Amino acid sequence: MSTLTATTDTSRAAPARPAYRVTGPRVLRSEWAKLWSLRSTWITLGLGLLFLVAFGLIASARFKSGIGSGRMDRDFARSTAVSLSLFGTNFAQLALGVLGVLITAGEYSTGMIRSTLAAVPRRLPVLWSKALVYGLVVLVVGTLGAFTAFLFGSRIVAGTSAALTFSHPGVLRSLFGAGLYLALVAVIGTALGALLRSVAGGISVLVAALMLVPGLVSLLPSSWQDDISPYLPSNAGQAVFSLTHDATTLSPAAGLLVFLGWTVLALAGAAYRLVRSDV
């Protein structure tokens, strides 16, 4: 009788273990911690910021030194302080997009994805959290880099035909647009890594979509180029942060919608494979 009573008292005294619940904020905190625990995150974000600012300043300095020389390319001579300052966007997008691929595909290559999906069995919150966390980080880094490049680049070209200030119509929209474009490139990289589950494959597709395909389209007849070129991911994205537009390019709003469409398509493909196929 005494033994039974002691056992009962012990069981009553033992604290109940709290039930573990998977919630959106917890998954976000987990992905935030994993992102900043990687050395490659700090290195690649630093490189992306460096490319964006350094190439912008180099382009501005080259424009300043080439004025009056008579050897400046005609298209380059029509540059503005915005286009010169954002010259490094094409280089920054590669670094930031590649890191997006590494964030997701890297977990598959190391096998860490098994632990991640065991903790979050529904799977899709993992993809949404990775894309949201990294996209917001790149949005901040890209916007900061764009404003920094323009702040110093506009001073370099002050007094020239390219001179602009923050108050000029369209300047702020272009600078914020550059940060948004880089953030969406980062999300696309994250989606490609989850879709292909291969670092090499994801990087190859990303580079092809942003750089190689536009070059191949330029080999098509001009009538075909006018119908296809504006809707390519890179060209539609560049329309978001371009200060000036012509009949061959999309407007900023249209370019943003098209680029968002490409982003959603990449995320949808990644989500479908994540749900339908095993790790």
Find the DSSP H helices in the chain.
2-13, 24-37, 39-66, 74-77, 81-85, 89-110, 112-119, 124-156, 171-196, 199-207, 213-217, 222-228, 233-241, 252-276
Residue 8 lies in a domain: no
Amino acid at the residue 268: A
Say yes or no to pLDDT of 196 above 60.
yes
> Rg (Cα) of the chain, in Å, rounded?
24
Alpha helices in 157-251 (DSSP H): 171-196, 199-207, 213-217, 222-228, 233-241
Band of residue 4 on the pLDDT scale cut at 50, 70, 90:
very low
Residue 9 lies in a domain: no
Pairwise CA distance, residues 112 & 47, whole Å:
26
Of residues 278 and 202, more confidence is placed in 202
Choose among 135, 142, 152: nearest CA to 175: 142
Give percent above pLDDT 70 in the chain. 91
Q: Which residues contact 136 (CB under 8 A, 6 or more apart)?
A: 183
Among 129, 136, 149, CA closest to 57: 149
Domain annotation covers residue 131: yes
Q: Please give the pLDDT value at position 202.
A: 94
Look at 13-27, 110-124, 255-269 and tell me which has the smallest mean pLDDT. 13-27
Q: In the predicted model, what is the mean pLDDT of residues 115-131?
A: 87
Residue 19, Cβ density class (10 Å: 0-12 exposed, 13-18 middle, ≥19 buried): exposed
Residues 11, 40: Cα–Cα separation, whole Å: 49
More confident site: 80 or 74: 80
* pLDDT of the residue at 15: 54
What's the pLDDT band for 258 if we cut at 50, 70, 90? Answer: very high
Give the pLDDT of residue 7.
47
Is 15 contained in some domain?
no
Query: Which of 118-132, 140-154, 242-256: highest mean pLDDT?
Result: 140-154
Domain contains 130: yes
Residue 91 within any structural domain of the chain: yes
Residue 243 CA to its chain's centroid (Å): 20
Q: Does a structural domain hold residue 205?
A: yes
**Would 95 be classed as within a structural domain?**
yes
Q: For residue range 40-62, list pLDDT tens digits in order.
A: 899 999 999 999 999 999 999 99
Q: Number of folded domains in the chain?
A: 1
Least confident interval from 134-143, 201-210, 219-228: 219-228
68 pLDDT tier (thresholds 50, 70, 90) = low
pTM of the model: 0.89
Distance CA 236, CA 177 (A): 12
Mean pLDDT of the chain: 87
Domain extent, residue 97, equals 23-276
Tokens of 89: 């966007």
Those residues with Cβ within 8 angstroms of residue 199's Cβ, 6 or more apart along the chain or in another chain:
101, 102, 105, 106, 109, 193
Exposed / middle / buried, residue 239 (Cβ in 10 Å: 0-12, 13-18, 19+): buried
